[in-house]
Amino acid sequence: MNIVSFMTANYVARQLNYNMTEGWMQGDEATNAYFRPLESYAARFEAILQDIAGLGFTAIDLWMAHLHYNWATPEHIAIARDLLAKYRLPVVSLAGGFGTSREEFERACQLAVAMDAPVLGGNTALLESDRTYVAETLRRYNVKFGYENHPEKSVDDMIAKVGHGDEDVIGVCVDTGWFGTHRFDAVAALNALAPRLFHVHLKDVLAPGAHETCRYGLGCVPIEACVHTLKELGYTGAISIEHEPTRYNPNEDCKANLSMVNHWLEH
């Protein structure tokens, strides 16, 4: 059965006491600032892992703001590895942006290797500007890159973004919520993108035209059908539970989401 993981970006508003009023980057900056100091990193990182394990999760997607390649020292990485082992939470992907320069992208790959994460799920400007380097670097580090849809409104948009060739290391990380935002059928997207599918961010949103995430079944994305489609396709990768409310703690919703996904995978 697929690994079902907890996306740590679900806690984007946590350091703002769930009062994120200025958009994603407000939470991103607050989280980076909170986790960066080495002297407090162990206690602060353990606090989120404790919560995640307590919800019943057995793996995570590690969001860059919780351990960023721009500030992570060998000491940060060692602490993170020890705590992940303590809570038995392997990292199935790194999540976020992987830089605009060769140096940044290589550091992201090095961090993935250090955290035993097989997939980079997110974006990098180098995919368009320096594709050959991206593919060669991924192969050198034995890491895959799944481009995550945000503005893309169709399968054609996604294929145009990832291009042709390098299918061994360059593919897609489908975010079902963003397809819901853009009124595109997420099930159709999964079917069409199956040959390039490296990772899945399973997300529901309340209504098209906006991006307010919610508990599965309360929004406009056919989440159960997405899970059944992944089973039918023979997808064996991880499925990330993603839900990033700006005004409340997502823990109870994520616990319910995990139960639903496990049930759908089993039946």
Give the three-class secondary structure for 174.
strand
How, if at all, do strands 239-241 and 213-214 pair?
Answer: unpaired
Q: Which amino acid makes up residue 21?
A: T
How many angstroms separate the CA atoms of 235 and 246, rounded?
Answer: 31
Q: Give Cα 224 to chain centroid, integer Å.
A: 19
- Pair 257, 241: CB distance under 8 Å: yes
How many angstroms separate the CA atoms of 42 and 78, rounded?
Answer: 10
Give the three-class secondary structure for 248.
coil
Q: Is the pLDDT of residue 1 over 90?
A: no
What would the two tokens of residue 216 be? 């599965």
CATH number of 191's domain? 3.20.20.150
The arithmetic mean of pLDDT across residues 151-166, rounded, is: 96
- Pair 200, 233: CB distance under 8 Å: no
DSSP structure string for 183-197: T--HHHHHHHHGGGE
**In this predicted structure, what is the pLDDT of residue 152?**
97
Question: What are the CA-CA distances from residue 28 to residues 16, 35, 194 (Å)?
Answer: 10, 11, 31
Output Rg (C-alpha) for the chain, integer angstroms: 17
Sign of CA dihedral 16, 24, 10, 123: negative
- Number of domains the chain is built from: 1
Domain that holds residue 102: 4-266
**In this predicted structure, what is the pLDDT of residue 215?**
98
- pLDDT tens sequence across 107-158: 999 999 999 999 999 999 999 999 999 999 999 999 999 999 999 999 999 9
Decide: pTM greater than 0.85. Answer: yes
- Pair 215, 204: CB distance under 8 Å: yes
How many angstroms separate the CA atoms of 267 and 100, rounded?
Answer: 43
The closest of 70, 68, 35 to 49, measured between CA atoms, is 35
The backbone region for 142, taken as left when phi is positive above 0, alpha when psi lies in -120 to 50, beta otherwise, is: left
- pLDDT tens sequence across 238-248: 999 999 999 99
- pLDDT tens sequence across 200-238: 999 999 999 999 999 999 999 999 999 999 999 999 999
- Pair 20, 26: CB distance under 8 Å: yes
The arithmetic mean of pLDDT across residues 97-107, rounded, is: 98
